[in-house]
Amino acid sequence: MKVLNNKIKKFIYIPLIFFGLTTPLDAKEVEVKDKWVKEITIPKGSSQRYLPKSERFAIIGIKSSTWLPVETLTKIKLGDTITGTYSRDSKDKTKSFVVGAIQCSYHSSDQFSSGSQYMWKGKWGCIAGRNKTQILNFYGGRDGRKFDVFTTSPINSEDIVDLSITNNDMKLPIFVPLGQKDLKEPQTGYMHMSSGMEDGRFFFAKKGDPVNKFKTIKLERFSFFQSLEREVIDGFTPRYGACAYLTKGWACFISSTGEGITKTISQAYANQLSKTHLADYMFCEDCKPIPHPALNRICPGFYTSHITGEEFKDKSIPTYPEVFNKEGNCIYEKPWVVSPKN
């Protein structure tokens, strides 16, 4: 398991391909970063506060008040207009702004102040403003609030539509391990890192050769584990295997280096084919990849080891780190990249 983890971590730092892979982490150690999102659904009962720019008075100085939205909101997305209201001396005062940015922060624990809860473990708190700059700088210390913002919490992970994955990223594959369930109940959408390959027919490409030149070879079973790896062709020892399930079976790319995998696959996904092979690699059609032992797929993109208890989560999942909904079911029944939700 440690070997798999080290290989996966290595891919995290390779550009273009591995923009959000998995790491085995205890929930207490996870530092979930704030994220910019494009839409949130607000559950019934969550707090909703319109926080207007602080007012300055000659005698009492700075005054910061808390308003309410004109009507209870159920959803906020970029481009919406949020209007806040405040009643004073039988007069209603209103202010509004157009939402240009939404930032959400993860609650790692429950927190209370004066008997009131303001953080909910596993949930999110979100703030909307005119733009990112105003959200990041809305509070000016002694000067109070410098801009109007809107805040709400708690927000469920599955109710957040993330902005962290760009259109260019969507053209590239996301890599997760290959578990036994992936073979029994295969799903399209992910590239899977296998632990080896069963015997079969493979096509070998040599770096620098024309892109249509391959050598057909038949190989017996081989492993990517360091203690079991072996040279299968002169100068070529397979150490990495990335497999995708297609309509008729598994197709795999195999290389001796992580760079070989990324160069081969990235140009195909970006539709920028080279005239020559960019690295030594093998591929196969109707392959028989070997899953990682003791690794179970709990949800698409979420794996656990029933021996060590280690976890692997796809960090690019829009609801990360949450993979279950309120009912305890998988938020995504298919890999999120092919889910109707996205």
1 vs 304: CA distance, rounded Å: 10
- Per-residue pLDDT of 79-92, as tens digits, reads 999 999 987 655 67
Highest mean pLDDT among 16-20, 94-98, 141-145, 258-262: 94-98
Q: Which of 72, 71, 75, 65 is nearest to 128 (CA)?
A: 75
- For the chain, percent helix, then strand, then coil, each to nearest 5? 15, 40, 45
Give yes or no for residue 35 having a pLDDT over 80.
yes
Q: So what's the pLDDT on residue 301? A: 93
- Structure token digits, residue 155: 């927000």
Q: So what's the pLDDT on residue 291? A: 95
Q: So what's the pLDDT on residue 168? A: 46
Per-residue pLDDT band for 11 (boundaries 50, 70, 90) equals very low
Q: So what's the pLDDT on residue 339? A: 66
Q: Which of 274, 234, 242, 284 is nearest to 259 (CA)?
A: 242
DSSP run (H or E) holding 177: strand 175-177
Question: Checking phi first, is residue 292 left (phi over 0); if not, alpha (psi -120 to 50) or beta?
Answer: beta
| Helix (H/G/I), strand (E/B), else coil: 17 | coil
- Structure token digits, residue 16: 């273009």
Give yes or no for residue 328 having a pLDDT over 70.
yes
φ and ψ at residue 8, rounded to 5 degrees:
-65, -45
Q: Which of 324, 233, 319, 316 is nearest to 280 (CA)?
A: 233
Q: So what's the pLDDT on residue 211? A: 86
Q: Which of 285, 327, 326, 318 is nearest to 300 (CA)?
A: 318
Percent residues over pLDDT 90 in the chain: 47
Arithmetic mean of pLDDT over the chain: 82
- Per-residue pLDDT of 213-262, as tens digits, reads 999 999 999 999 989 999 999 999 999 999 999 888 999 999 998 878 87
Give yes or no for residue 8 having a pLDDT over 60.
no
Q: Are 3 and 158 in contact (CB under 8 A)?
A: no
- Domains in the chain: boundaries: 2-27+168-295, 44-155
Q: Please compute Rg for the chain using Cα positions.
A: 25
**Residue 102, strand partner residues:** 37, 128
- Per-residue pLDDT of 89-125, as tens digits, reads 556 788 999 999 999 999 988 999 888 898 999 899 9
- Structure token digits, residue 84: 């806040």
DSSP state of 134: H
259-272 burial, b at 16+ Cβ within 10 Å, e below that, comes to ebbbbbbbeeeeee
- Per-residue pLDDT of 296-314, as tens digits, reads 999 999 999 988 888 899 8
Q: So what's the pLDDT on residue 275? A: 83
Choose the weakest-confidence range: 169-173, 233-237, 274-278: 169-173
Q: What's the chain's length in residues?
A: 342
DSSP run (H or E) holding 50: strand 47-51
Per-residue pLDDT band for 15 (boundaries 50, 70, 90) equals very low
What mean pLDDT comes out for the span 181-194? 92
Give yes or no for residue 293 having a pLDDT over 80.
yes
What mean pLDDT comes out for the span 67-86? 92
